[in-house]
Amino acid sequence: MHSLTATERETAKAIYRLSPEGGAARTGDLAAALSVAPASATARVQRLAERGLAVYAPYRGVELTDEGRAVATAAIRRHRIVERFLSDMLGYPWEDADRLAVTFEHDVPDEVIARIFVALDRPATCPHGFPIPAVDSTDVPSLPTLDEVEAGVTAEVALPGATDRDVSDFLETLGIRPGVQIVVREHHPFGGPVVITVGGEDRTIGNNLARQIFVRLD
């Protein structure tokens, strides 16, 4: 990890997040995720491939090697710990933690990241509610979306840092924010809305919005 550049870490993270299980990430999707031109995304992928962190085949996409998955997972862990630092120690809202963490997370030494994690009392999640992967893990636990959860289940809300601000503001008016406990009451059939209880109140969430809300199951 010491010899990797910030660009390489960010590219590995993006490939991991875009790769379906057993599949490859498309360079066009990678370019969009990284906000770079397709040619730049391809050049980044080729650099990772040269380092043995990825396997790239033109017109097929890119997959991380086992070593590449370890790099991506470690980078995601680092990002989520820095987000926690910004939120818990410096008081930044969860919506801002993702944006700010990217600006300096790669400059923080590994030993400092480890001490921050301990100082924060070894948090299980980032401020958005997503799991912080274990040290030396090659996998980041995934979360289902609200529309995938059966009625009767109790869960905690998680929202991506990239959630549209208007969406997060609307959810806030309903009492839905990262870490809040909800109970799924009912799924209407044929792609209908989901009824949940949050803060003692029943709320009806449209199916499209439910697909943007992730949950941690108890």
Please write the tens of the pLDDT for every residue from 69-115. Answer: 999 999 999 999 999 999 999 999 998 999 999 999 999 999 999 99
What pLDDT does 21 receive? 73
Taking the model in full, what pTM does it have? 0.89
CATH number of domain containing 18: 1.10.10.10
| Average of per-residue pLDDT values in the chain | 93
Beta strands in the chain (DSSP E): 54-57, 61-64, 154-158, 181-187, 194-198, 201-205, 214-217
Output the pLDDT for position 190.
Answer: 85
Give me 43's structure tokens: 């050049």
Of 53, 68, 83, the domain-final residue: 68
73 inside domain: no
CA distance 131 to 140: 7
- In whole angstroms, give the CA distance from residue 73 to residue 132: 9
Residue 1 pLDDT: 47
pLDDT at 174 over 90: yes
CATH number for the domain harbouring residue 175: 2.30.30.90
Q: Which of 68, 87, 104 is the last residue of a domain?
A: 68
Share of the chain above pLDDT 90, in %: 85
In a domain, 24, yes or no: yes
Q: Is residue 85 part of a domain?
A: no
Instruction: Give the separation between CA 16 and CA 156, rounded to whole angstroms.
Output: 24
- Please give the helix or strand (H or E) that residue 18 lies within, else none: helix 6-18
Residue 55 in domain: yes
Taken in order 44, 50, 53, 57, the sign of the CA dihedral is positive
Looking at the structure of the chain, the number of domains it has is 2
Print the domain residue range for 156.
Answer: 146-217
Q: Could you give the CA distance from residue 183 to residue 156 in angstroms, rounded to a whole number?
A: 9
For residue 89, being part of any structural domain is answered with no
C-alpha angle with apex 198: 192 to 204, nearest 5 degrees?
20
pLDDT of residue 12 exceeding 60? yes
Average pLDDT on 122-149 reads: 93
Does a structural domain hold residue 171? yes
Name the domain boundary from 68, 100, 120: 68
pLDDT band at 22 (very low <50, low <70, confident <90, very high): low
